[in-house]
Amino acid sequence: CSGERVVSWYTARSENSRAWSALMAPIPAPEVVVTDGGSGFAKAVRETWPRTRVQRCTFHAFSQVKRYTTTRPKLQAGRELYLIARDLMGIETLHRAELWVERYLDWCGFWADFLEDRTVVDGRRVYTHERLRRARSSLSSLVSAGTLFTYLDPALAKAGPLPSTNNMIEGGVNSQLRAVLRNHRGLTSVKRVKAVFWWRHAHSGDARTAREKLAAMPTDADIDFLFSVYSASPSREDGGPEWGDRAVWEDLHHRDPYPFWLD
258 and 172 together in one domain: yes
The residue range of the domain holding 252 is 10-54+166-262
Residues 21 and 81 in one domain: no
53-109 pLDDT, tens per residue?
999 999 999 999 999 999 999 999 999 999 999 999 999 999 999 999 999 999 999
Q: What distance in Å separates the CA atoms of residue 3 and residue 117, rounded to the nearest whole number?
A: 47
**pLDDT (average), residues 169-190:** 89
Residues 6 or more apart whose CB falls under 8 angstroms from that of 83 comprise none
Instruction: Give residue 231's pLDDT.
Output: 57
Q: Model-level pTM? A: 0.78
Considering only the C-alpha atoms of the chain, give the largest distance between any 2 of them, rounded to a whole number of Å.
Answer: 68
Q: Which of 120, 152, 184 is the last residue of a domain?
A: 152
44 occurs within a structural domain: yes
Q: What is the pLDDT of residue 195?
A: 87
How confident is the model over 150-157, as a mean pLDDT?
A: 93
Give the mean pLDDT of 147-164: 92
189 and 138 part of one domain: no
In the chain, what percentage of residues exceed pLDDT 90?
54
| Same-domain status, 173 and 236 | yes
Which pLDDT belongs to residue 206? 75
Residue 238 lies in a domain: yes
The H or E element that residue 54 is part of is strand 53-56
Query: Number of structural domains, the chain?
Result: 2
Q: Do both 119 and 36 map to the same domain?
A: no
Out of 152, 179, 208, a domain closes at: 152
Counting every residue written for the chain, the total comes to 263
Q: 34 with 92, same domain?
A: no
Same domain, 251 and 202: yes
In this predicted structure, the answer to whether residue 142 has a pLDDT above a threshold of 90 is yes
- Strands 118-121, 124-127: pairing is antiparallel
